[in-house]
Structure 1
Amino acid sequence: MLRIFLTFLLFFCLSSISNARTINWLAHDFAPYYILNGQYQHQGRDESIISLLEKQLPNITFNRMLIPSGKVIQELSNTSNNACALSLYKNDYRKEHIYFTEESSTTGLSPSIAMHKKLAKALNIAESKEVSLLNLIQDKKLTLGVSMSRSYGQEIDTLINSTPNIDLVIRPTRDSLASLTYMLNLKRIDILLGYPSEHYYLAKSMHFEENLTQRPLNESPALSYGFIGCTKNEQGAKDIAILNEQLKVIKKTQAYNDLLMRWLPEDLRPLLKSRINSTK
């Protein structure tokens, strides 16, 4: 009898090990999506959404892997790996090499410009009012700061690259947006291009939030969507299927919606909420 019990116990243990599941999540040092240290450590938007998914899937081990942000797509495209990443942009080229969820994992406002509150007042730009980037850099002759090798969408990228005689400051460093935010506060540039949550987090962490404000751009789409991407192999297909279903669950929760708003300034939260509601 004891031998039968031990045989059954061994079979159960081996079955549990063989059925054990792990999803390797690629994370990178990119606030406010992943915040690895400092006052707001582990309060990043994307890392917090991964934690919501983890609670929904208690039988799957979530393993976080820290890599440079520029290596995420390369790692996911390597079919000998098994990994997933949150909040990725989908395009035809990436879909050839990576599996993506149908459900979006994040929804946010598209690129905006940050500026001094005094400049916004001088230009008579009301809070949350959309402005034309072309008008600001071509007609108003404002100096624009941008991060090198970063895409802001086809229309804005084309505008920046093809508009003649504009005053452009480009920073190539790893912390280029932080460096440009510092320059903006010192009025070495007039306006700074980035995403609303990034502007807000950097201004807040640098204690510049009382000086700076931001405005949405009418050259940007209403919303910016991110998706979960996983390695394009057998394991990745299984992971994508599970994660896609769990996204449907967490997106109905207040906790998820609160995370989308976490790193937005108060005046832009109603705009994001109204734009999300208009797509439902």
Structure 2
Amino acid sequence: MKKIMIRVFKILLIISLLQLILFASDMKTITWEFANEPPTSFEKNGKYVGFGIEIIKDIQNKMPQYKHQLRMVGNYKRLVKELKYGSLTCAINLFKTKERLEYMYFSKVPIFFSFDLQIVLRKTTFEELGKPKKISLKQLLNMKNLKFGTSFGRTYSKNIRNILKEYEGNSNIFSYAQSNVASSLLKMLVRNRFDYMFLYPEEAFYLSKNIDKANDLVTVPIEETGSFSHTWAVCSKNEDGQIVANNITTILEELRKEKKYMNYYVNVISKNLHSYYKKHFENTYLKIYEQ
């Protein structure tokens, strides 16, 4: 009798293992793609790290019905192309534009809520401009003697997009297809390849510790922007992508209520910004919902 029971147990175990194998083989794989953009997402010591990667992992843990793989694609031009043609590709930290809505499904709540762009320039340029507390981007772009460096394929908030479109084709605007978006451009700024660029406060906080001559640079708020901007999670525009994007929305609605979610960003900005950010996170960000 005991031998029979052991045989039955072994048979049931084999059947269970076969079912698990068959289930796993039927699971669809989500490819999570991201730009090389410290401190949000980047590679360090052979591992993908950054607060954006942590959020992706939190989402993945809530979606056990899928297999998941991470892939760093370098810059935003490549990332957008992969989303457009990928079978089931998702990404984080993208602004919503009319063009992108044609080939991406967006989460209905934003994934990131961050301080808006600032202008970064060398101290000498800052002093020549009179040490302004804020800078008009339009005014800078009208100064033909100053060169503006930007990342090819990277998209910004609506106000910034409209201004850049207005000045599209200007001879003093230079776009670079760099793999490490902010870091590469910042090094070029230090080497006088151009005179100013965009940078987010979290990028400035991180890169100031890792770039030579960072003390020779100054960040200044842009007159034409607000205090904050928000970006979204996106997926390929097909049936599977729509299902996953909807799942991400549901997951984010719960995850964003957790204290650690807010702290992912708080931990990469300077302390003087913490209380201001926390207030707007709770009063503004958590209420944003777009169909």
Q: How many residue pairs get matched?
A: 275
Matched, 1:29 2:29: no
Q: Deviations over 1:223-250 (max 9, x none)?
A: 3222222233443333233322221222
Unpaired segments ≥5 residues, structure 2: none
1:1-280 → structure 2 map (5 Å cutoff): 5=9, 8-20=12-24, 21=27, 22-37=29-44, 42-57=48-63, 60-69=66-75, 70-78=77-85, 81-116=87-122, 120=126, 123-126=130-133, 130-138=134-142, 143-160=147-164, 162=166, 168-175=172-179, 177-186=182-191, 189-279=194-284, 280=287
Letter in 1 for 2:55: I
Describe the superposition over 1:164-220 as per-residue Cα deviations: whole angstroms up to 9, x where unpaired: 9x8835142425644442343356644322333334433332144433232222312
Secondary structure of the structure 2 residue equivalent to 1:32: coil
CA shift, 1:36, in A, is 1.0
Post-superposition offset of 1:5: 4.5
Q: CA deviation at 1:277?
A: 3.7
Displacement, 1:253?
1.8
CA contact (8 A) 1:137 1:167 kept: no
TM-score (normalizing by structure 1): 0.76
Q: 1:186 to 1:26 in 2, by over 3 A?
A: closer
Question: Is the Cα–Cα contact under 8 Å of residues 144 and 172 in structure 2 kept in the other structure?
Answer: no
- 1: CA distance, partners of 2:93 / 2:18: 35
Work out the CA distance in 1 between the residues paired with 2:123 and 2:263. Answer: 26
Deviations 1:135-190 (A, max 9, x none): 445479754333345433443344345459x8835142425644442343356644
Task: Measure how far apart 1:107 and its partner are.
Answer: 1.6
Deviating beyond 6 angstroms after TM superposition, the runs of 4 or more aligned structure 1 residues are none
Distance 1:236 1:268, change over 3 A: same
Which amino acid is the alignment partner of residue 91 of structure 2?
A
Q: Percent identity?
A: 23
TM-score (norm 2): 0.74
1-structure distance, mates of 2:171, 2:269: 28
* Structure 1 residues 15 and 49, CA gap change in structure 2 (3 angstroms): same
CA RMSD of aligned residues (A): 3.7
Cα deviation code 1:56-90 (max 9, x no counterpart): 456654322333443333333336x2232222223
**Aligned counterparts of 1:33 and 1:111: Cα–Cα separation in 2:** 15
Q: Could you tell which deviates more after superposition, 8-17 or 100-109?
A: 8-17
